[in-house]
């Protein structure tokens, strides 16, 4: 009798233990699901916040003032406009070139040795100094914004004249060299009315011309002739 009762008690305890184990397993699964739901909700909420911030930033950057401050700045504007007027070239074109060349960083220097805001090669700058009879030219001055802008503006103005006002050819020559552009014109039978940027053989030069023309349009839209 005692053994039977003991067996029943043991069986009951085992069953109770099994039930508790099942309960624990059930509650563990519930907790895991709840935690997973919370994680998913948190990830979703974070995604919504990031998306809202991205949209806010995007629309803020569409405003004229934000574009002028952060995307298309115009330091040295008075210097650019002075030499653009002196050498009879569009100041918006020069500003667009500077943005593409150096992002208005006067200390910029390329791996090829091009220097300053308008990324002039020292030998080109020396040649320009001879053309404009700058007897006081010092190569060490090429990093200086005023000197660099003066020489770069004179150079693009001279290329505009050489290519009869064709901005595409003039910009291509500024980037790849006038000799290369004349070769392309001869090989491909381009006239002075050539406008097909995609036909320019050098990928870097194609990208440069497109970049400057886009920048020029933005500077024209954002600054125009306003005094600010």
Angle at 203 between CA 198 and CA 209, to 5 degrees: 60
Residues shown for the chain: 228
> What is the rounded CA–CA span in Å between residue 52 and residue 142?
45
> What is the rounded CA–CA span in Å between residue 110 and residue 116?
9
Give me the catalytic one of 15, 16, 64, 101. 101
> What is the rounded CA–CA span in Å between residue 119 and residue 141?
13
Angle at 160 between CA 172 and CA 101, to 5 degrees: 45
Residue 109, SS3 per DSSP: strand
Residue 190 zone, left/alpha/beta (φ > 0; ψ -120 to 50; rest): beta
By the 10 Å C-beta count (0-12 exposed, 13-18 middle, 19+ buried), 189 is classed as: exposed
Q: Which residue has the tokens 């440069």?
A: 208
> What is the rounded CA–CA span in Å between residue 165 and residue 168?
9
Residue 82, SS3 per DSSP: helix
**Has 22 been annotated as catalytic?**
no
Tokens of 205: 């030069």
Catalytic residue IDs: 101
């Amino acid at each position: 009798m005692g053994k039977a009762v003991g067996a029943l008690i043991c069986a009951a305890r085992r069953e109770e233990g099994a039930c508790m184990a099942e309960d624990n397993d059930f509650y563990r699964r519930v907790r895991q699901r709840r935690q997973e739901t919370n994680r998913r909700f948190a990830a979703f909420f974070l995604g919504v916040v990031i998306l809202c911030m991205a949209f806010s930033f995007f629309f803020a950057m569409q405003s004229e003032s934000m574009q002028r401050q952060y995307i298309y700045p115009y330091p040295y504007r008075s210097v650019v406009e002075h030499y653009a007027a002196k050498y009879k070239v569009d100041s918006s074109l020069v500003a667009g070139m500077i943005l593409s060349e150096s992002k208005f960083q006067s200390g910029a220097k390329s791996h090829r040795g091009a220097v300053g805001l308008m990324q002039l090669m020292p030998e080109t700058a020396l040649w320009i100094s001879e053309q404009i009879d700058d007897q006081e030219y010092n190569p060490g001055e090429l990093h200086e914004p005023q000197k660099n802008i003066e020489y770069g503006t004179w150079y693009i103005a001279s290329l505009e004249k050489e290519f009869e006002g064709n901005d595409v050819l003039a910009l291509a020559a500024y980037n790849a060299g006038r000799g290369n552009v004349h070769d392309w014109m001869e090989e491909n039978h381009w006239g002075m009315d050539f406008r097909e940027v995609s036909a320019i053989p050098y990928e870097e030069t194609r990208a440069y011309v497109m970049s400057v023309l886009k920048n020029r349009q933005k500077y024209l839209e954002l600054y125009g002739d306003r005094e600010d």
